[in-house]
């Protein structure tokens, strides 16, 4: 037990502690901003970020990944908060957690295997673009001091790691935030700080059961929002887990992550926070700063709460320019530059899927829409490609004509299958060899029925050979050409 605890929590003690501190500092303005987007008090986002990060550290399926209040989830809450208020948001967040736990129990995390590499790349690139775009308001209509601070922060982030000894001991984003804050205070610069974004809470969160009527009317109001939040939250969390898997060369438990996100959102709603999910930006900061284990996530959430409640006077003085520099670093590090370098080498279908995913996410700011479009396009291109890998070879004469089918027969290739047979001069006997073919669906079975019955109407004796067991089972259940009572049917439907 003790050995397992050490391997899970203490194997990367210094890295996790320092990375968690960096993430905590970066979470504060994000949580406040997302609260403003959702139309709630800043403490709702801050309490949610603290609670979700702490809980997910224990129950999540991806060590080292950061979960908190997010913009994707906040956008889904705007209408609910505007029309019904905070209490209904808390109830919807609670129901969202229940739905996510259900998804984990149903093992829906396994659906991630249907998300192609090109969709993941598009998702990553779109998020990198959105992260960068989110920093632009902090860089427009500002004094030159802000640009100087941002440039100085970026210089520290990229040059400090090359410094001997210290560069390897302290994460450069942490050095950036601390040094830029000290410089801003020392020079008395009049620039935007964390404190300008909203008031920080001065008390610890308390248990808060949503004060809504327990009726079907309430359920009808909150369920659509809860379902949307559950889907978007799981999708972003599972996609982020996949990315962190690649960054750390380790595997995650996607179904456990589904359940963990649900438990975390239930806990957040009961402490007056809104629902959240995994954050790719903060997760990348964590990994880049040396965070690898559950301790980094726990430290991020715990330090966040301690700072905003007990050290708010200092936290409020952190210049936004320093945090903008960190987020620009995240944007640059998140973007898949290989997708541009190898763009001409990749197949056209791969590039189209990636670009479509990026375009939809950037335009709609909805990750679910982008991933859905990407998955559908990838499936369409795959079906079209496999559908063209079907060959029907013909041999024989007017007495015996043999057809040899090679490939996959399904809805996308059934028309090609049927067109390969010549019914104009029907021979006495027809042999259809399916040894190297596979029938996948009822559309394929109907196509076989149509071919066999057409030949029989022309007076030919048809023999179907070599069908594998899976195809034979499908044909036996749904086919009609091998059933004597149905031989006179014209189409096989």
Q: Is 367 left (phi over 0), alpha (psi -120 to 50) or beta?
A: alpha
Q: What's phi and psi for 273, nearest 5 deg?
A: -110, 165
Percent of the chain with pLDDT over 70: 97
The predicted structure's pLDDT at residue 100: 96
159 and 253 co-located in one domain = yes
- Please write the tens of the pLDDT for every residue from 149-166: 999 999 998 988 877 666
The answer to whether 321 and 149 are in contact (CB under 8 A) is yes
Predicted confidence band of residue 168 (pLDDT cuts 50, 70, 90): low
CA angle 292, 155, 13 (to 5 degrees): 20
- Please write the tens of the pLDDT for every residue from 50-65: 999 999 999 999 999 9
Q: What's phi and psi for 344, nearest 5 deg?
A: -75, -20
The predicted structure's pLDDT at residue 101: 97
Of 289, 321, 346, the position where a domain reaches its end is 346
The predicted structure's pLDDT at residue 326: 87
- Please write the tens of the pLDDT for every residue from 340-367: 988 988 899 999 999 999 999 889 887 7
Q: Is the pLDDT score of 187 beyond 70?
A: yes
Whether 269 is in a domain gets the answer yes
Predicted confidence band of residue 234 (pLDDT cuts 50, 70, 90): very high
The predicted structure's pLDDT at residue 102: 96
Predicted confidence band of residue 487 (pLDDT cuts 50, 70, 90): very low
Sign, Cα dihedral of 403, 408, 410, 411: negative
How is residue 408 written in tokens? 């996959």
436 and 339 co-located in one domain = no
Whether 127 is in a domain gets the answer yes
Higher-confidence residue of 116 and 2: namely: 116
Higher-confidence residue of 106 and 368: namely: 106
- Please write the tens of the pLDDT for every residue from 254-275: 999 999 999 999 999 999 999 9
Instruction: Provide the number of structural domains found in the chain.
Output: 2
Predicted confidence band of residue 488 (pLDDT cuts 50, 70, 90): very low
The predicted structure's pLDDT at residue 484: 64
Q: Are strands 277-278 and 390-396 parallel, antiparallel or unpaired?
A: unpaired
198 and 84 co-located in one domain = yes
Q: What is the CATH number of the domain that holds 421?
A: 3.30.750.24
137 and 263 co-located in one domain = yes
Q: Which of 395, 442, 445, 390 is nearest to 422 (CA)?
A: 395
Whether 326 is in a domain gets the answer yes
The predicted structure's pLDDT at residue 89: 96
Q: Which range marks the domain in which residue 478 is found? A: 388-486
167 and 46 co-located in one domain = yes
Whether 356 is in a domain gets the answer no
Average pLDDT over residues 472-483: 85
202 and 286 co-located in one domain = yes
342 and 392 co-located in one domain = no
Q: What's phi and psi for 428, nearest 5 deg?
A: -70, -40
DSSP annotation of 460: -
Average pLDDT over residues 68-87: 90
342 and 413 co-located in one domain = no
Average pLDDT over residues 458-472: 91
329 and 188 co-located in one domain = yes
Whether 447 is in a domain gets the answer yes
Whether 378 is in a domain gets the answer no
The answer to whether 229 and 76 are in contact (CB under 8 A) is yes
Q: Which of 228, 5, 386, 471 is nearest to 479 (CA)?
A: 471
CA angle 423, 392, 477 (to 5 degrees): 80
Average pLDDT over residues 63-88: 91
Residue with structure tokens 């048809």?
Answer: 462
Predicted confidence band of residue 491 (pLDDT cuts 50, 70, 90): very low
The predicted structure's pLDDT at residue 196: 86
- Please write the tens of the pLDDT for every residue from 104-138: 999 988 888 888 889 989 988 988 898 888 888 88
Q: Is the pLDDT score of 493 beyond 70?
A: no
CA–CA separation, 209 vs 348, rounded Å? 52
- Please write the tens of the pLDDT for every residue from 277-334: 999 888 988 998 899 999 999 999 999 999 999 988 888 898 999 988 988 888 888 8
Of 316, 346, 376, the position where a domain reaches its end is 346
CA–CA separation, 299 vs 293, rounded Å? 11
287 and 413 co-located in one domain = no
Average pLDDT over residues 15-41: 89
Q: Is the pLDDT score of 475 beyond 60?
A: yes
CA–CA separation, 244 vs 233, rounded Å? 16
For the chain, give the mean pLDDT: 89
295 and 426 co-located in one domain = no
The answer to whether 197 and 33 are in contact (CB under 8 A) is yes
Residues 6+ apart with CB under 8 A from 474: 439, 440, 441, 442, 444, 445
**Burial class (CB within 10 angstroms; exposed 0-12, middle 13-18, buried 19+) of 162:** exposed
Whether 363 is in a domain gets the answer no
- Please write the tens of the pLDDT for every residue from 418-456: 999 988 877 889 999 999 999 999 999 999 999 999 998
Sign, Cα dihedral of 46, 50, 55, 57: positive
Whether 361 is in a domain gets the answer no
Predicted confidence band of residue 489 (pLDDT cuts 50, 70, 90): very low
Percent of the chain with pLDDT over 90: 55
Q: Are strands 461-465 and 429-439 parallel, antiparallel or unpaired?
A: parallel
Of 281, 313, 346, the position where a domain reaches its end is 346
324 and 420 co-located in one domain = no
Predicted confidence band of residue 490 (pLDDT cuts 50, 70, 90): very low
């Amino acid at each position: 037990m003790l050995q397992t605890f050490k391997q899970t929590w203490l194997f990367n003690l210094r890295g996790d502690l320092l990375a968690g501190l960096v993430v905590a500092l970066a979470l504060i303005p994000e949580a406040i901003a997302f609260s403003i987007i959702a139309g709630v008090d800043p403490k709702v986002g801050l309490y949610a970020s603290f609670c979700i990060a702490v809980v997910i550290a224990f129950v999540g399926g991806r060590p080292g990944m950061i979960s908190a209040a997010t913009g994707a989830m906040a956008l889904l809450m705007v209408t609910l908060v505007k029309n019904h208020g905070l209490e209904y948001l808390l109830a919807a967040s609670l129901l969202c957690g229940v739905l996510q736990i259900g998804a984990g129990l149903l093992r829906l995390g396994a659906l991630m295997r249907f998300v192609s590499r090109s969709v993941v790349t598009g998702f990553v690139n779109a998020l990198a673009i959105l992260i960068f775009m989110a920093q632009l308001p902090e860089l427009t209509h500002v004094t030159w001091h802000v640009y100087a601070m941002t440039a100085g922060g970026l210089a520290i982030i990229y040059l400090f790691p090359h410094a001997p000894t210290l560069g390897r001991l302290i994460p450069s984003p942490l050095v950036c935030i601390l040094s830029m804050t000290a410089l801003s205070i020392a020079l008395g610069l009049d620039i935007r700080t964390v404190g300008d974004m909203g008031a920080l809470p001065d008390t610890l969160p308390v248990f808060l059961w949503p004060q809504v009527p327990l009726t079907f009317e309430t359920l009808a109001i909150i369920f659509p929002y809860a379902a949307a939040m559950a889907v978007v939250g799981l999708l972003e969390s599972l996609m982020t887990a996949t990315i962190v898997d690649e960054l750390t060369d380790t595997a995650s438990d996607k179904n456990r992550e589904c359940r963990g996100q649900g438990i975390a959102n239930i806990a957040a709603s009961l402490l007056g926070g809104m629902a959240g999910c995994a954050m790719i930006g903060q997760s990348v900061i964590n990994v880049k700063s040396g965070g690898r284990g559950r301790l980094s996530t726990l430290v991020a959430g715990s330090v966040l709460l301690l700072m905003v409640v007990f050290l708010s006077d200092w936290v409020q003085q952190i210049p936004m320019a320093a945090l903008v520099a960190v987020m620009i670093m995240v944007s640059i590090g998140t973007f898949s530059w290989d997708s541009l370098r190898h763009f001409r080498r990749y197949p056209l279908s791969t590039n189209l899927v990636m670009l479509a995913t990026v375009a939809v996410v950037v335009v709609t700011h909805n990750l679910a829409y982008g991933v859905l479009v990407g998955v559908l396009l990838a499936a369409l291109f795959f079906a079209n490609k496999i559908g063209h890998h079907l060959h029907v070879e013909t041999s024989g004469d007017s007495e015996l004509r043999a057809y040899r089918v090679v490939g996959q027969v399904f809805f996308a290739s059934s028309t090609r299958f049927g067109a390969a047979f010549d019914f104009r001069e029907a021979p006495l006997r027809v042999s259809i060899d399916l040894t190297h073919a596979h029938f996948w669906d009822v559309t394929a079975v109907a196509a076989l029925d149509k071919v066999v019955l057409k030949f029989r109407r022309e007076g030919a004796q048809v023999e179907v050979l070599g069908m594998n067991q899976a195809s034979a089972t499908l044909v036996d259940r749904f086919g009609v050409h091998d059933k004597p009572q149905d031989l006179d049917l014209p189409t096989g439907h």
